[in-house]
Amino acid sequence: MTAVSITQAPHHGSRRSGGLRLGAHMSIAGGLDKAPLRGQKVGCDTIQVFTKSNRQWHAKALTDREVEAFKANLAATGIGPVVAHDCYLINLAAPRRLVWRKSVSAFRVELERAERLGIPYLVTHPGSHGGTGEAEGIHRVAEALNVLHAALLGHRVQVLLEATAGQGTSLGYRFEHLAAILAEVERRDRVGICLDTCHVFAAGYDLRTREGYRNTWRDFAACLGLDRLKAIHLNDSKADLGSRVDRHEHIGKGRLGLTPFRRLVNDPHLRCLPMILETPKDNDFITADRRNLARLRRLLKANGQEVPHDRDPSRPHHPHLDPGGPLGG
């Protein structure tokens, strides 16, 4: 496939989100072009999508008409940047060579689809080592990325390795795992990081306290560098700190509470990043996503004062953000 330019250039912040790009994962039922329209209906500044079924290996090739309709609706709605997420079947750390090759082939298709659609980021979980050990799994992920980068020299899509909760033998629940993968990748400029609040909390990074929030970002910066972070998934957690269980909850309704999200949406170091919900849809994505987005926007500070928000009993009545952001003292 010939290389195409990435149409989703960096977006200025949304006025309704205080400069942030807040959004949610949108369904592609009925066609990819429907996703931006659904995002607009919900009130998204940015969206995440699957570019194909997330439960099947194969997909029909994209047609010119599908690509044009998707891009036209993005332009009409002003939504962006768009983030793609790959199929859940893909395991770039797979110990069985047959599964690994199948995963690499499927991930190549994901990259090609994102490139053609003009989507700048493709999120993937690092995968599961299947009991062969973290070091071997990490090597296989890096090998897969090196193979794909060599095969797709003209592509501009960045792969975003997602921090995980660490269920089973999954990699990525420590920032050191992601750093180790990057250390073996030859084209590190083509790889970024996506942080998921539910995942890192379940993995043991406590975002609820001032000290825990600061230490999490210091660890991230030390291992990966803040410039490597390209997107954030905003999800509360049904499971507790360090549980290694990945169960998303509505914002402020889980074990994390509102405190971490207030810090995140007001953190100047994170202002330019797309922040995307993957919270439950409750059989009505419009109501559920609107409610969660509204809750996040109420946490934003306006002209130095906090916008009224739902009371968070875990904080003092007048909470404030660390003046130095994630690396502040």
Catalytic machinery residues: 55, 85, 88, 125, 162, 196, 199, 233, 246, 248, 278
225: Cβ–Cβ under 8 A, 6 or more apart, which residues?
A: none
Going 122 to 58 to 23 to 254, the CA torsion angle's sign is negative
Secondary structure (3-state) at 283: coil
Going 175 to 215 to 319 to 14, the CA torsion angle's sign is negative
CB contact burial 30-50 (16+ within 10 A = b; e otherwise): eebbbbbbbbbebbbbbbbbb
List, in sequence order, every residue forming a beta bridge with 123; answer none if it has no partner. Answer: 85, 160
Residue 195, H or E segment: strand 191-196
Pairwise CA distance, residues 47 & 60, whole Å: 22
Secondary structure (3-state) at 160: strand
Going 33 to 34 to 39 to 41, the CA torsion angle's sign is positive
For residue 44 the two structure tokens come to 């998204």
List, in sequence order, every residue forming a beta bridge with 115; answer none if it has no partner. Answer: none
Pairwise CA distance, residues 234 & 195, whole Å: 9
Amino acid at 315: R
Contact between 60 and 107 (Cβ < 8 Å) = no
CA distances (Å), origin 132, targets 96, 141, 171, 175? 10, 13, 12, 20
Amino acid at 151: A
Contact between 190 and 181 (Cβ < 8 Å) = no
Pairwise CA distance, residues 104 & 100, whole Å: 6
Pairwise CA distance, residues 34 & 37, whole Å: 5
